[in-house]
């Protein structure tokens, strides 16, 4: 693939008129070739043991004409019976990208892997319908096809970044990077809506990592965000990418404030306040936590509602707690939190519509803990926004482990393994906030999810920080 890319081969044209990118064509040819070899081996084994039938494996996301997964066929039916498109099951198994496999069996003796009831349940799941971007996706096959389309679009956008960077056009490369973030957000939203696992390995692109390194350094930093970083270090005033404070203020005003407490940031150097940054939303720290927290402990906004034991070394048990929390509170109208502590307990807390005070369980309980909380979903939306500045500051203050967030269809997480203080990380959050808004102003690209974009920016810029778009 690298040789193909380096020598300029981008597309493969077929006699049928079909056209695919070189990567897609190579991937398909390799996968299909290996599948056909495996199938030939299975059929040869059937002859050697005098098997009189074949059973077909089941997999999710099969194309509609391949609905034979989990069924058993006599050798005659398998080789000569017409299943669909005028082809036998044996012929259909040789279709490109087919992931079914056939195994030799003895008819009437070999017990099917799936009972009729189990197979019906699998097929019912296969035929479910979900809504995505206002349109129905009918069945898992359509869902996976949409996923492949977005993966192709992501790869194409990464290739643009690579090409613009090689050409020294860093301005257009940065614009392409922002469009890539929108595609990644759509990809995450699709995974959340359908329940399909994300497959980031499908979006890997030759030269992309090097291009991103180039954008983060030297000449690539000619955009407004680099201007901000450079002037921040030197103590100079940031010019807002050449825009006036009034223009930047109008861009900032496009983002609705949700009635939360804010910090005003003066980036223009005069008396006019330009940006407001949400400050007190999510997990907050009001102190007062005890080392011996008990059910019923409360402050003005939060109550400990439950405490139960857990083996902190049991990853499956921890995952179950987080998954159950997500199911229960995805659309809750107030904030809840779960603290899974190394002390061997799970603490459940209930807060208000904008806050939950997890410090109520005590500092010793929080250190090294795994936590999750929810953000209530704004009316009419599918999900709320991602982690707030307060969420990050809290995690750093108490040296917690991985933190999770659920908000409607949103399932984010982050972890940090660095040495920054709470004050440092909150400053980094503010800087990322201003970069996100300035880029939106410069490029004209809408901010699709501000706090998520801030987290993505921190993921790019901050060593030891990892943001997960979906858990």
Domain boundaries, the chain: 2-127, 132-220, 282-468
Instruction: Scan for tokens 């099917």, then name that residue.
Output: 112
**What is the rounded average pLDDT of the residues 263-286?**
46
Q: Are strands 370-374 and 403-407 parallel, antiparallel or unpaired?
A: parallel
Task: Check residue 1 and give its pLDDT.
Answer: 45
Contact 109, 50 (CB under 8 A): no
Tokens representing 86 are: 């005028």
Neighbouring-strand partners of residue 308: 346
- From CA 8, how far away is CA 4, in angstroms rounded? 6
- For the segment 74-119, what is each residue's pLDDT rounded down to a tens digit? 999 999 988 988 899 999 998 878 889 899 999 999 999 999 999 9
Nearest Cα to Cα of residue 349 among 374, 331, 386, 324: 374
Task: Check residue 400 and give its pLDDT.
Answer: 96
Q: CA–CA distance from 176 to each of 6, 157, 446 (Å)?
A: 21, 7, 14
Contact 63, 57 (CB under 8 A): no
Q: What is the mean pLDDT of the chain?
A: 81
- For the segment 219-251, what is each residue's pLDDT rounded down to a tens digit? 434 434 443 333 333 333 333 344 444 444 444
Instruction: Scan for tokens 């083996």, then name that residue.
Output: 311
Contact 409, 194 (CB under 8 A): no
Nearest Cα to Cα of residue 31 among 148, 195, 186, 142: 148
Task: Check residue 283 and give its pLDDT.
Answer: 67
**More confident of the two residues 389 and 24:** 389
Looking at the chain, the whole-number percentage of residues with pLDDT higher than 70 is 78
Reduced DSSP (H G I as helix, E B as strand, rest coil) percent helix, strand, coil of the chain, to 5 = 45, 15, 40
Contact 416, 396 (CB under 8 A): yes
pTM score of the predicted model: 0.48
Residue 374 pLDDT more than 70?
yes
Nearest Cα to Cα of residue 416 among 433, 431, 428, 432: 428
Tokens representing 456 are: 């993505």
**What is the rounded average pLDDT of the residues 7-27?**
68
Predicted confidence band of residue 287 (pLDDT cuts 50, 70, 90): low
- From CA 265, how far away is CA 276, in angstroms rounded? 6
Phi-psi region of 371 (alpha: psi -120 to 50; beta: other; left: phi over 0): beta
Looking at the chain, the whole-number percentage of residues with pLDDT higher than 90 is 48
**More confident of the two residues 52 and 443:** 52
Nearest Cα to Cα of residue 359 among 386, 394, 390, 325: 394
Predicted confidence band of residue 3 (pLDDT cuts 50, 70, 90): low
């Amino acid at each position: 693939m690298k040789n193909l890319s380096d020598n300029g081969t981008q597309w493969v044209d077929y006699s049928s008129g079909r056209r695919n990118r070189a990567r897609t064509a190579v991937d398909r040819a390799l996968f299909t070739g290996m599948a056909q070899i495996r199938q030939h081996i299975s059929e040869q084994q059937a002859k050697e043991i005098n098997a009189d039938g074949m059973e077909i494996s089941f997999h999710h996301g099969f194309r509609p004409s391949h609905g034979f997964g989990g069924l058993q066929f006599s050798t005659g039916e398998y080789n000569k019976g017409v299943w669909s498109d005028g082809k036998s099951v044996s012929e259909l198994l040789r279709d490109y990208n087919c992931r079914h496999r056939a195994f030799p069996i003895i008819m009437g003796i070999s017990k099917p892997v799936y009972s009729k009831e189990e197979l019906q349940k699998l097929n019912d799941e296969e035929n479910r319908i979900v809504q995505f971007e206002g349109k129905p996706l009918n069945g898992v096959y359509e869902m996976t096809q949409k996923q492949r389309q977005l993966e192709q679009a992501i790869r194409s956008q990464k290739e643009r970044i690579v090409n613009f960077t090689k050409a020294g056009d860093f301005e257009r490369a940065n614009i392409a990077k922002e469009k890539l973030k929108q595609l990644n957000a759509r990809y995450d939203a699709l995974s959340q809506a359908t329940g399909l696992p994300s497959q980031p390995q499908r979006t890997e692109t030759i030269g992309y990592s090097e291009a991103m390194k180039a954008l983060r350094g030297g000449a690539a930093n000619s955009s407004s965000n680099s201007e901000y970083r450079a002037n921040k270090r030197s103590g100079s005033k940031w010019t807002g990418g050449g825009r006036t404070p009034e223009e930047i203020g109008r861009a900032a005003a496009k983002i609705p404030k949700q009635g939360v407490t804010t910090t005003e940031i003066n980036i223009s150097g005069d008396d006019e306040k330009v940006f407001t940054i949400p400050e007190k939303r999510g997990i907050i720290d009001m102190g007062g936590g005890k080392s011996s927290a008990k059910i019923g402990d409360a402050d003005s906004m939060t109550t400990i509602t439950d405490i139960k034991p857990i083996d902190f070394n049991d990853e499956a048990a921890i995952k179950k707690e987080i998954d159950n929390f997500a199911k229960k509170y995805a659309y809750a109208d107030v904030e809840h939190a779960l603290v899974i502590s190394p002390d061997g307990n799970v603490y459940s807390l209930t807060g208000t519509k904008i806050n939950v005070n997890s410090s109520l369980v005590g500092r010793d309980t929080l250190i090294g803990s795994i936590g999750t909380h929810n953000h209530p979903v704004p009316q009419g939306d599918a999900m709320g926004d991602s982690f707030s500045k307060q969420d990050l500051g809290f995690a750093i203050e108490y040296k917690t482990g991985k933190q999770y967030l659920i908000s409607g269809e949103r399932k984010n997480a982050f972890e940090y393994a660095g040495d920054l203080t709470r004050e440092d990380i909150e400053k980094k959050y503010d800087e990322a906030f201003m970069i996100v808004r300035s880029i939106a102003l410069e490029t004209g690209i809408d901010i699709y999810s501000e706090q998520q974009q801030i987290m993505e920016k921190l993921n790019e810029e901050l060593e030891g920080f990892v943001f997960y778009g979906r858990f």
